[in-house]
Structure 1
Amino acid sequence: MQLNICYIDAFTKVPFRGNTAAVVPLTEWLPEATMQAIAAENNLSETAFFLTGTQEKIAIRWFSPLTEIDFCGHATLASAYLLFQSNPSWTQLSFWAEAVGELRVCRQPDGAMQMAFPNRASHAVETIPPALLAGLSEPPSAVFRNVQAYIALYDDEEAIRRITIQQDPLKTLAPYDVAITAPGKESDFVSRYFWPANGGVEDPVTGSIHAALAPFWAERLGKTQLVARQLSARGGILHCALEGDRVLVSGHAVEYLRGTITL
């Protein structure tokens, strides 16, 4: 059996930036163990598998090198990019995933793709887990949590840049990952994302967590249109907006590689 595979850099306009996702179109699901093995072999933040068909409710699944992931933003963006490139007449499409339902994606005139995510707002954590404090080199001013991750709040962008982590304590927070965030200098807010329990040390650009970060900062800044930067080594820019019960997250993507998987 041979399968097509494409590597796409998401949340960037140029190669070698943003977050790389592997995208594998399928006509039917492979065994879960096979999809997990492919994701481990790729060793990227995520490998997305989707079932080809019409542009309505395309079934999609995401795997990190360690496990299947409930919700992934950058690999959704990468999958949409591949589908739009393969179907130039399409201006919108919808993915479907069990944990988050429908994910609508619209292609913008400037080539960006706007994804409509469910609002996954966070709530304040009154008792901060000791493992979280042990895993971060500096204590946050406050901690919040949503269904995906703990969100540690800091006062300024420089704190986000200099934070280092200890993986072992953060692993014990599973199934939750850890995001750190602060107001930005040249953007509305900045963040970094650590997920040693579910995928890797630091994720380059994490679209899914902005379904929590955008509402968080919209409330504090009093605005519904925001520009976000993720301050990983590769970096990425995300344009966020609130629209009803959805969080709109937009970004560009570029293709890096196409190839064939032989099973």
Structure 2
Amino acid sequence: MQVPVFTVDAFANRPFSGNPAAVCLLENDLDEDLHQRIATEMNLSETAFIKKLHPTDDFTKSSRFGLRWFTPANEVPLCGHATLASAAVLFHIKKNPNSVLTFVTLSGELKTRQEKDHIVLDLPLYSTYPQELQEVEELIKAATGDMIVQDLRYSPDTKKLLVRLSDAYERSVLEKLQVGAQRFLSAEKTGKVKGLILTLKGKPNGKDKGHDFYSRYFAPWYGVLEDPVTGSAHAVLSSYWSEQLGKKEMLAFQCSRRGGELKISLHDNGRVEVAGQFAIVLKGNLTL
């Protein structure tokens, strides 16, 4: 059995930057255990599986598909960069002519569209709530050391902890911070955190003016020590920074080693559009 597979660098304007995702096109149903085994074999932060909803569907013509995402360790309920990668494969390799592609997922229906050289994701927007430091103090210490934390929020819908560093810090401080994310597993005592976001306000007058905020994202609970660029984390960050900055249109940058830029647009219907560029770097087949 041959399964077409592609590697796409999402939120990237050139190869070998942004966040790589594997995308598998399933012409036929796959044995359930094979999804996880393939994702473990691909060994990227996410592997996406696009499935036909009906036997007569066609990757080159249909507008609705099933979509699932797996890390090397687990299935996850939402992955932005692998959704962008999936849309890139359908739009640019399969030449799908539809203006909007809809994916049926564990997080509901997600719509994607093309806008010039970007792909736009329509994602749910997740609110954050104040988090008591005492509950997660050991985890914060493991993540930030002695750095000053300005705000601490929790997103119950996504189980993500948002840690805002002091506005006094520059982007370079966040980029250079050495984070041993493997230690988070023993430091997190509450059982409610499955992802940790470090974030920093942009400096409008600095050399990187134009970026409203910066972030890094860690998810060792899902087998991902640091994710290069994370669409789902920005479904949380967008809510927080829109409230803090009083803006609905923002430009964000995730400061991982590979790095990636995200264009953000909030809507009044509780959704957020996250847009990014992409580079398709590999085309092939899995032999099962």
TM-score by length of 2: 0.86
Q: Aligned-pair distance for 1:60?
A: 0.4
CA, structure 1 residues 132+139, in 2 after alignment: closer, same or farther (shift >3 Å)?
Answer: farther
**For 1:30-179, what aligned pairs fall within 5 Å after superposition?**
30-52=30-52, 53=57, 55-85=62-92, 86-98=94-106, 100-108=107-115, 110-127=116-133, 128-136=135-143, 137=145, 138-146=147-155, 147-148=157-158, 149-155=160-166, 156=169, 157-172=171-186, 173=188, 176-179=194-197
Q: Aligned-pair distance for 1:141?
A: 2.1
Q: Aligned-pair distance for 1:165?
A: 2.2
Moved more, 125-134 or 15-24: 125-134
CA, structure 1 residues 219+194, in 2 after alignment: closer, same or farther (shift >3 Å)?
Answer: same
Within the candidate set 266, 277, 280, 1:252 is matched to 277
Q: Aligned-pair distance for 1:171?
A: 1.8
Aligned length: 261
Partner of 1:207: 231
Contact 2:9 2:85 in 1 (8 A): yes
Percent identity of paired positions between Structure 1 and Structure 2: 35
For 1:33 and 1:248, the matched residues in 2 are separated by 33
Q: Deviations over 1:238-257 (max 9, x none)?
A: 00010121011001111101
Q: Aligned-pair distance for 1:219?
A: 1.1
Q: Deviations over 1:202-245 (max 9, x none)?
A: 10000111111011111111110000000000000000010121
Give the AA of the match of 2:154.
R
Please give the secondary structure, in 2, of the residue aligned with 1:17: coil
Q: Aligned-pair distance for 1:88?
A: 4.4
* Unmatched 5+ stretches in structure 1: none
CA, structure 1 residues 203+66, in 2 after alignment: closer, same or farther (shift >3 Å)?
Answer: same
For 2:96 and 2:222, the matched residues in 1 are separated by 35
Moved more, 88-97 or 24-33: 24-33
- Please say if 1:229 is aligned against 2:229: no
Moved more, 25-34 or 9-18: 25-34
Please give the secondary structure, in 1, of the residue aligned with 2:243: helix
Give the AA of the match of 2:229.
V
Partner of 1:196: 220
Q: Deviations over 1:129-169 (max 9, x none)?
A: 13312321235222111132111001232442232223344
TM-score by length of 1: 0.94
Give the AA of the match of 1:130.
E
Give the AA of the match of 2:46.
E
**For 1:173-188, what aligned pairs fall within 5 Å after superposition?**
173=188, 176-185=194-203, 186=208, 187-188=211-212
Q: Deviations over 1:145-196 (max 9, x none)?
A: 1132111001232442232223344124465111100112420000000111
Contact 2:128 2:236 in 1 (8 A): yes
For 2:173 and 2:239, the matched residues in 1 are separated by 21
The structure 1 segments of at least 4 consecutive aligned residues displaced by more than 6 Å after TM superposition are none
